[in-house]
Structure 1
Amino acid sequence: MYFSRYICHVNQTQRQRLYDLLGENVKKYRSKKGLTQEQLANEVALTRTSVVNIEQGRQHPPLYILFDIAKALEIELGTLLPPESSFLSTSLIDEESLKGVAEKDLPKLTSFVAAFRKSTGDHEQKAAETN
């Protein structure tokens, strides 16, 4: 699975949504495999509480833990990761960021952001076609 090079620009709400969706996927695939939270915890050297917190989106596991979880669930790591469109907003700029922008400048900013999104989307599509 490919995460955009712009992932560092997600705001706190988007980042939390990412971990909420990740947790939902851990729970879904754990249940599909018929494992309890305790059993998964034992397989990946975590506590049951940690598994609960990951599934609830409260604990943000490092990548090596996600690899261990995916291996225990017998799935690819990418299967646990939600698609960007499910946690990124349609705007590159959140409402909080816009509070300091003069109203007369909003149309210019909106136009710039739309052009930027189009150009990066075109670039990513060409890169995907090349691979």
Structure 2
Amino acid sequence: MSDCLFCAIANGDKPGFIVFRDDSVAAFLDTRPVFKGHVLVVPREHIETLTDLPADLVGPFFLRVQTLTSAVERGVEARGSFVAMNNRISQSVPHLHVHIVPRNPKDGLRGFFWPRMKYADDAEIESFAERIRACLAPVTF
């Protein structure tokens, strides 16, 4: 879809802090993270919701989400993570995406109130992307 922000980032047409990309998915840092290291995983094909995801792509998509969840936790030294997906309501970009949010005990996140933080600059966000990428190598699917 030509006007979809996530399609543009996934395909390299718009800048994004990519942590992983293959033929099936792209994963990049959320620029308004709940916590630093917050990653969005999107299918490369424009798919709006989970119910639109073809059955043959469900397994490959979530295998990558699983692998990326581990990389986020290790890359930012988090004790766990919150993995979530909105389906239409609260979906700020109408493109299927999974949030992988690094978590630690007593980090202040309560319920579904998601305060957002900011990275200091592009150098800081790139350093988080590099830390996560380093935990993926080498990955094969």
The normalised TM-score by structure 2 is 0.28
**Higher Cα Rg: structure 1 or 2?**
1
The normalised TM-score by structure 1 is 0.29
- In terms of fraction of residues, the more helix-rich structure is 1
